[in-house]
């Protein structure tokens, strides 16, 4: 130390700062030296961890974890032996790959719906809905996000764009149609959180899609809450009025809503 001290005293402020930065190494998490091997798991362990047996996981996607609870990239580091940043890149790559390959059926499962649409209507009617032509239920969902910052060199208020005054949270909007067998036959998004459900519906062009495939959807409707106005293949909740006719319509809406929330 006595030999180093005179050397340090001869350095100016800038040189001393550069020297100190050489020793300022941030502490990083220890990445275990392991490699994930699905074949080493039994079907029982695979079902508990991924909700599928080994064969089912292989059919879905290799290295695509589907746990019973959300995991952080740091948590998965212990299993896969990869850094959180590498796991993030792998996850993003898989998501983009799946969407690019299956975006048509992610948008709408027309083949499945064509085969089962009457079965869906019968199931909705059997649960108490007075109508016999409702085969699915549409709604939007808001996924919370971190408050975004403006992009470099851009004067933009992204926090305002994604803030939902109704939910009081920064979020992104997604739209889905669910049918009685719990399939989400239509998924679309995301959109800025400040947008209304009717705007999301218009931008998704779902009504146009139903009209273009009238050979499948003619005479059938998707039911939604009051945010969804009546359109081709769509029915929002009937309005309430003092007249007997609209009171009956409201009773009809209540019975269908009872089916939707089951």
Q: Are residues 149 and 247 in the same domain?
A: yes
Q: Are residues 96 and 112 in the same domain?
A: no
| 97: in domain | yes
> CA 104 from chain center: how many Å?
16
226 or 210: which leads in pLDDT:
210
**What three-state secondary structure class fits 97?**
helix
Q: Are residues 147 and 245 in the same domain?
A: yes
If we measure between CA atoms, which residue out of 254, 233, 228 comes closest to residue 185? 233
| Structural domain containing residue 195 | 108-260
> CA 90 from chain center: how many Å?
18
Q: Name the DSSP class of 187.
A: E
| 3: in domain | no
| 120: in domain | yes
Q: Pick the last residue of a domain from 103, 123, 151.
A: 103
pLDDT in tens, 36-86: 777 788 888 888 877 778 888 777 654 455 444 466 777 778 777 888 888
pLDDT in tens, 15-28: 766 766 666 666 77
pLDDT in tens, 229-257: 655 566 655 443 433 444 444 555 555 55
| 133: in domain | yes
Q: Are residues 119 and 89 in the same domain?
A: no
Q: Are residues 96 and 195 in the same domain?
A: no
Q: Pick the last residue of a domain from 52, 70, 103.
A: 103
* Number of domains observed in the structure of the chain: 2
Whether the model clears a pTM of 0.75, i.e. scores above it, the answer is no
Q: How far apart are CA 34 and CA 86, in angstroms?
A: 15
Q: How far apart are CA 63 and CA 50, in angstroms?
A: 11
Confidence of residue 180 (pLDDT cuts 50, 70, 90): very high
């Amino acid at each position: 130390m006595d030999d180093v001290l005179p050397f340090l005293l001869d350095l100016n402020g800038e040189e001393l700062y550069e020297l100190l930065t050489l020793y300022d190494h941030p502490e990083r998490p220890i990445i275990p030296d392991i490699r994930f091997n699905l074949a080493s798991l039994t079907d029982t362990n695979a079902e508990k961890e991924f909700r599928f047996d080994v064969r089912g996981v292989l059919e879905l996607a290799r290295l695509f974890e589907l746990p019973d609870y959300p995991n952080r990239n740091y948590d998965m580091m212990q299993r896969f032996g990869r850094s959180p940043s590498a796991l993030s890149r792998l996850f993003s790559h898989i998501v983009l790959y799946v969407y690019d390959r299956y975006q048509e059926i992610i948008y709408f499962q027309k083949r499945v719906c064509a085969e089962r649409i009457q079965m869906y209507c019968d199931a909705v009617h059997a649960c108490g809905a007075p109508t016999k032509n409702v085969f699915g239920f549409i709604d939007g969902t808001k996924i919370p996000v971190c408050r975004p910052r403006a992009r470099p060199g851009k004067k933009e208020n992204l926090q305002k764009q994604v803030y939902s005054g109704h939910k009081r949270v920064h979020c992104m909007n997604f739209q889905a149609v669910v049918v009685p067998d719990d399939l989400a036959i239509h998924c679309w998004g995301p959109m800025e959180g400040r947008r209304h459900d009717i705007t999301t519906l218009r931008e998704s062009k779902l009504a146009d899609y139903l009209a273009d495939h009238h050979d499948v959807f003619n005479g059938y409707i998707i039911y939604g809450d009051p945010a969804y106005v009546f359109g081709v293949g769509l029915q929002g909740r009937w309005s309430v009025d003092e007249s007997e006719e609209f009171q009956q319509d409201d009773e009809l809406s209540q019975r269908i809503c009872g089916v939707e929330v089951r």
